[in-house]
Amino acid sequence: MNNLSKPYTKGENVIKSEFAKVIKKAQKINFIQHLKTSVFFQQVSLTFGTRTFIFIIGFASSIITARYLGPEGKGILAVLMTITGIISQFGNFGFHAANTYFVAKDRGKLTKIIGNTLWLSLLGGSIISLITLGIFFINHNFLTNIPFYLILFALLAMPFNLLFMLGQNIFLGIQKIKVFNFLELTRQLTTFLIIAMLLVLLHQGVKAVVITNTVFAVIFSLLVLNVLQPIGGNVYYFDFNLFKKMIRYGIKAYLAALFAFLVIRFDMLMVNYYLGSNDAGVYSIAANIADILYMLPVSFGMILFPKVSGMKEGSWEFTKKVAWVTTLIMFFVCSFVALIAKPFIIFFYGNAFSGTIEALWWLLPGIFALSIETVIVQFLNSIGLPISVVFYWLIGFLINLLLNMIFIPNFGIIGASITSSISYILLFILILYKTLRINININDQLKKIK
């Protein structure tokens, strides 16, 4: 009897030993005990809650504009918003990241950074708007059936959109997270309420919506500047030497963001090209759900970047803790979504979108990997953004493009999901490898000093 019981006793001891290791590791990471009291987690929760509420506002806005503007009006508005969104995102040349990085590194540069932001936004944004306007004026066929005056009104907002965006990134850098979220949410909510009133009660059209967006872009950009000015002092001076340093960092951030955008978004264009608009519509539901899931790690990354950029030591240890939190949360979130995907999609979208289910399942492993990568890469961003990160995203885009050309014609939208997951997992491995190599080198240098 005793002999028979020994293997079971030994097995139980092994299990207990392994379980004790897991508990010890969890205690060492110590993220569970501190989640509720952590200022960092509170900031992430506030930012995630704000982004979620803004998403709801955007969803409600899309319904109202679609109903009261009709397909043609909605189409005109969507095109104009896409143009201004692209110019705002890629017309800042990476200064959104540079602002956060430099002000987090050295608060003493705050006044000069605000001054550079003001000049870059208003002067640079105006130049970009004029160039864009000139292109559309010379060849109006680019925007068929859209009145030129609407293009003009939309582009008038560009300098002020840039000022608002870059100013908001300064708030991130100086850890004014409540101000950042308050301004973001107030702008979206106020604009939505005025547009809803104009469309529903006053029966206005696209022109009123475009003008409202432009007016509120001006108001809130000036509000950002008004809040920043007392913090920074005289903000009307342009510092060219600082500008040169910021542009070097900004260009790298700009290219990384560009390739990241292509990796994450280009598959939709390829699905439409190879399979047509019907399959693109089905795949878009999986992509939209993935975007919602990705909001949480983006919130983690948004708050983590300025925090670790301003840390003199321990930045990698802190990043690891946040990465473990992200891993745990996203594992349960992705698993839950995988379980409810079928009944959820069939109930809300109908049987016509049943193809979304399997596409989403194949996309979830990639979203899980991309979520962790989004946190880990903030450490690399905080130490100056190595140029290799830009090349990793370029490699990811090229592989994504090549695999999509092979997989989509053969496997349909599931092929697009598989390709995206492969690309995201590859990027996670490359970023993790680079991060670990840098930390190994740092530790080796510290040992030599000792």
Each residue's pLDDT tens digit in the chain (450 positions)? Answer: 444 444 444 444 544 554 555 455 555 555 455 555 578 888 888 888 998 898 888 888 877 887 787 767 777 777 777 778 777 777 778 888 899 999 998 888 888 999 999 998 888 888 888 888 887 777 766 666 778 888 888 889 889 999 999 999 999 999 899 999 999 999 999 999 999 999 988 888 888 998 999 999 999 999 999 898 877 667 778 888 999 999 999 999 888 888 888 888 788 878 888 888 788 878 888 888 888 899 899 999 999 999 999 888 888 999 999 999 999 999 999 999 999 999 988 887 788 888 889 999 999 999 999 999 999 999 999 998 899 999 999 999 999 999 999 999 999 999 999 999 999 999 999 999 999 998 877 665 655 555
pTM, 2 dp:
0.78
How confident is the model at residue 191, as a pLDDT?
92
Q: How many helices (H) and strands (E) does the chain have?
A: 16, 0
In this structure, the dihedral spanned by the alpha carbons of residues 66, 69, 74 and 80, taken in order and rounded to 10 degrees, is -140
What integer pLDDT is reported at residue 7 of this predicted model? 44
322, 304 Cβ separation under 8 angstroms? yes
Nearest to 159 by CA among 135, 133, 182: 133
Q: Which amino acid is at 383?
A: I
- One-letter amino acid for residue 215 of the chain: V
Residue where the block lists tokens 């939190």: 325
Query: Which residue type is seen at 297?
Result: P
